[in-house]
Amino acid sequence: MMHAASPRVLIIYTGGTIGMVENPVTKSLHPFDFSALSAQVPELAQLDVHLDTYSVSEPIDSSNMNPDLWGQLAQLIFDRYENYDGFVVLHGSDTMAYTASALTFMFENLNKPVILTGSQLPIGMIRTDGKENLISAIEIASARQMGSPIVAEVAVYFENQLYRGNRTHKHNAEQFEAFQSPNYPILAEAGIRIIYNTNALRPCNQLELKVHTQFDTQVGVITVFPGITEAWFSHLLSAPGIKAFVLRTFGSGNTPSQPWFLQLLQSAIERGIIILNVTQCAVGQVEQGRYETSVGLRDIGIVGGGDLTLEAAVTKLMFLLAQNLSFEECHAQLQRSLRGELTESKND
């Protein structure tokens, strides 16, 4: 099926359920030898795609993913960027939304598809969702129209849908349909054919790819809840070394309005700490000032995170902190959509 001009796709295995097989005796799951992928998925031979595979030396459960490994993954793709038309990254689903978000920030001027996928059941199991996810992800990573890739961005493919990487969230630990893109349309849907939502896809540009592999992990996440005590809130905000917090607020960005609550936030900001307000709601955006219970937040200099997911908020902060920007420039970049992670008009 393959020709000299067939698109070239590199499959990178980082770990996760998709690449595991069950030990017939112990029944436990362990990663299989990835060079034997075609034995697990013989259907791959029918694709008109030149496939290469690369397995990291120590595949992991994605709960052990971290910013150093994000950087290594981005570098690996960057070093092979010219040799392939697209990349498929096999990754555990648990933290896939974080890795996908981080990859979007690391790549500036990405003009090829980087498609993350995985599965809820190992690829060797009879009812696996892994085969369809892998085969469709390869098809998307190799899809071209008039000589250009159709998808020129980092995206997640799972259970028939393609999502923008930095808009995804894992919302279901049981069902095959594990991901959602709560505030951005799906990029493509796989039925009998793969239908691309061309209006939602990022356009290609002709600029040279740059990679930024540094992250600063001095970031905290604080979830506000009714009854939160002054002692607990103060303890979190004074964590040593932390440079920025994601504040997970109610509804459209609201919090308790007791004076101590705002005073603790204000003194953190005066110490140079950046605070980014994102909503605890699954869908929707922060609009500071819409309710009285968020006016004070805006007035003391908390940044409204608009419709950022938590995953995009955390990785964007880690990314921006590593750029050594001034406090003001960091604020400005947080309110700007750098890689399509934010709907700017909805942000305050």
Task: Check residue 347 for interaction with ligand ASP (CB under 6 A).
Answer: no
Cβ closest to ligand ASP, residue 119 vs residue 181: 119
**Minimum Å distance from CB 129 to ligand ASP?**
10
Residue 327, strand partner residues: none
Structure tokens at 9: 């796709």
- Which residue among 14, 17, 99, 104 is the active-site one? 17
Cβ closest to ligand ASP, residue 62 vs residue 347: 62
**Minimum Å distance from CB 115 to ligand ASP?**
16
Select the span of 44-52, 58-66, 238-246, 305-313 touching ligand ASP (CB under 6 A): 58-66
Residue nearest to ligand ASP (CB): 92
The span from the CA of 42 to the CA of 82, in Å, is 27
Task: Check residue 168 for interaction with ligand ASP (CB under 6 A).
Answer: no
Cβ closest to ligand ASP, residue 63 vs residue 223: 63
Cβ closest to ligand ASP, residue 92 vs residue 149: 92
297-326 mask for ligand ASP (x: CB under 6 A)?
------------------------------
Residues found in the chain: 348
Dihedrals phi, psi of 131, to nearest 5 degrees: -65, -50
Count Cβ neighbours within 10 Å for each residue of 251-272 and write b for 16 or more, e otherwise: bbbbbbeeeebbebbbebbeee
Select from 7, 31, 71, 118 the one that contacts ligand ASP (CB under 6 A).
118
Q: Are 305 and 276 in contact (CB under 8 A)?
A: yes
The span from the CA of 201 to the CA of 169, in Å, is 18
- Alpha-carbon radius of gyration of the chain: 21
Task: Check residue 113 for interaction with ligand ASP (CB under 6 A).
Answer: no
**Minimum Å distance from CB 58 to ligand ASP?**
13
**With contacts defined by CB under 6 A, how many residues of the chain interact with ligand ASP?**
11
Select the span of 41-49, 57-65, 199-207, 263-271 touching ligand ASP (CB under 6 A): 57-65
7-26 mask for ligand ASP (x: CB under 6 A)?
--------xxx---------
Structure tokens at 15: 């770990």
* CA distances for 178 relative to 71, 194, 214, angstroms: 25, 19, 29
Residue list 59-98, contact with ligand ASP (CB under 6 A) = 61-63, 92-94
The span from the CA of 46 to the CA of 62, in Å, is 30
Q: Are 307 and 301 in contact (CB under 8 A)?
A: no
Cβ closest to ligand ASP, residue 10 vs residue 123: 123
Residue 302 has, within 13 A of its CA and on its CB side, a CA count of 33
Cβ closest to ligand ASP, residue 116 vs residue 152: 116
| Known catalytic residue at 17 | yes
The span from the CA of 329 to the CA of 248, in Å, is 22
Write a three-state SS string for 240-262.
CCCCEEEEEEECCCECCCCHHHH
Select the span of 45-53, 55-63, 78-86, 297-305 touching ligand ASP (CB under 6 A): 55-63
The span from the CA of 141 to the CA of 335, in Å, is 30
Q: Using CB under 6 A as the criterion, which residues of the chain lie in contact with ligand ASP when the complex forms?
A: 15-17, 61-63, 92-94, 118, 120
Query: Which residues belong to the active site?
Result: 17
